[in-house]
Structure 1
């Protein structure tokens, strides 16, 4: 058991980093300036502009593309689960390959199976997130179809429908983002199959890359701050 303490510490670091990053991105004031938060403002603008239009076919086509992309990721998650299960079944073959390398990287069969089970659980979580996001996008499409006509856009009912649609839209995007985040961290988790020390490095690399995309990427720089967008939007 003594030899497994590094593995336990590496997995603990992986879980804590994932959890802290998710909490920071979704439940802190710091996240209000993230790329996801800025894009949410444009979702509300989209819904308000949709309310002002009579012809809404283009909006439904865009929504269909969002649904198709989410369905693709959900299907990919199932394929990843199948691949991880195949890796679990091929424990002896995998350990034989690792044992033939110049550097001995082969863990015990039990530890290898634990690693495979962990990877399977991550992909199962990913599938549930994408599947639920797909269903929520379906609900948003229904709300798009139920949008009041443009002639009623100044009514209390229309405003309530806009806010209802925007909140559901944000929830769908939030679950989609969580699924993608799980994919990114699954790539970091693969470092554990090499060494627990590699897991430390790959986990840190995933956090740095995902943080940069949210707060320092070219896409983030291209989007105006949320407050500025709301001031520019005449419907806000």
Structure 2
């Protein structure tokens, strides 16, 4: 048997069950909120900040292409691309830093448990948490890398001669796809906060998840 699996499976103590119950509530809260947000966006997009932003981007693309505001288009896309590139690089640095911590700091898990009041103190479970946080950072990097890709495509489309509604629709689609990837990447950054605090214990995870949901609800309903 794998020693890691043995260590993980043999640690089902009362604190482990508390860890599982509280962590499940935190995950369910985050997932449930985003399911509600997606359903609201599909049914009433005008009631969400994402839906309003999508409508504004569509009007912006049409204005740029019909009035030939090429300089405005290039400058705006340059700013978006620079921001996405910076955030992608940051996510990769964080992910590599977490991997380095996991491999070179064996006593870090022990130190983090000083603030863990009710959760499990299993080092194997702590490594699972750190791995999930690292994978999330890699996913964030991928989102922002895709955003840069779509913005680069949109830069060419927006500066082409006016070829009718079809060209406008294609440019709008490229800008929208880039914005969606950017939005998902930012949402991933938000979720890293409760996942990072999860390393300190499940109560930190649950409390920060609830606080994050209240904050995101305010942002998702209005600008």
Q: Same fold (TM over 0.5)?
A: yes
41-50 or 84-93: bigger deviation: 84-93
Q: 1:158 aligns with which of 164, 183, 193?
A: 164
Q: CA deviation at 1:56?
A: 1.2
Q: CA deviation at 1:110?
A: 0.8
Find the counterpart in structure 2 of residue 16 from structure 1.
28
Matched position secondary structure for 2:50: helix
Find the counterpart in structure 1 of residue 5 from structure 2.
none
Distance 2:133 2:116 in 1: 26
Deviations 1:147-181 (A, max 9, x none): 42xxxxxxxx4111112211221121111111100
Q: Paired residues, what number?
A: 209
User: Does residue 54 of structure 1 match 2:68?
Assistant: yes
Contact between 2:113 and 2:201, CA under 8 Å: does it hold in 1?
A: no
Distance 1:125 1:108 in 2: 26
Contact between 1:92 and 1:109, CA under 8 Å: does it hold in 2?
A: no
Find the counterpart in structure 1 of residue 185 from structure 2.
179
Q: CA deviation at 1:19?
A: 2.9
Deviations 1:123-154 (A, max 9, x none): 11111111111111111112112242xxxxxx
Find the counterpart in structure 1 of residue 7 from structure 2.
none
RMSD (CA atoms): 2.4
Q: CA deviation at 1:197?
A: 1.5
Distance 2:114 2:196 in 1: 20
Find the counterpart in structure 2 of residue 69 from structure 1.
83
Distance 1:205 1:100 in 2: 23
Q: CA deviation at 1:25?
A: 2.6
Q: 2:128 aligns with which of 114, 135, 154?
A: 114
Distance 2:114 2:30 in 1: 33
Distance 1:10 1:106 in 2: 11
Find the counterpart in structure 2 of residue 92 from structure 1.
106
Q: Evaluate the alpha carbon distance shift between residue 102 and residue 198 of structure 1 in structure 2; reply closer, same or farther with a 3 A threshold.
A: closer
Q: Structure 2 matches for 1:217-236, cutoff 5 A?
A: 220=223
99-108 or 6-15: bigger deviation: 99-108
Q: Evaluate the alpha carbon distance shift between residue 15 and residue 101 of structure 1 in structure 2; reply closer, same or farther with a 3 A threshold.
A: closer
Distance 1:140 1:192 in 2: 39
Find the counterpart in structure 2 of residue 137 from structure 1.
151
Distance 1:106 1:6 in 2: 8
Distance 1:167 1:101 in 2: 47
TM-score, normalized by length of structure 1?
0.79
Distance 1:213 1:120 in 2: 26
Gaps of at least 5 residues in structure 2 are 1-11
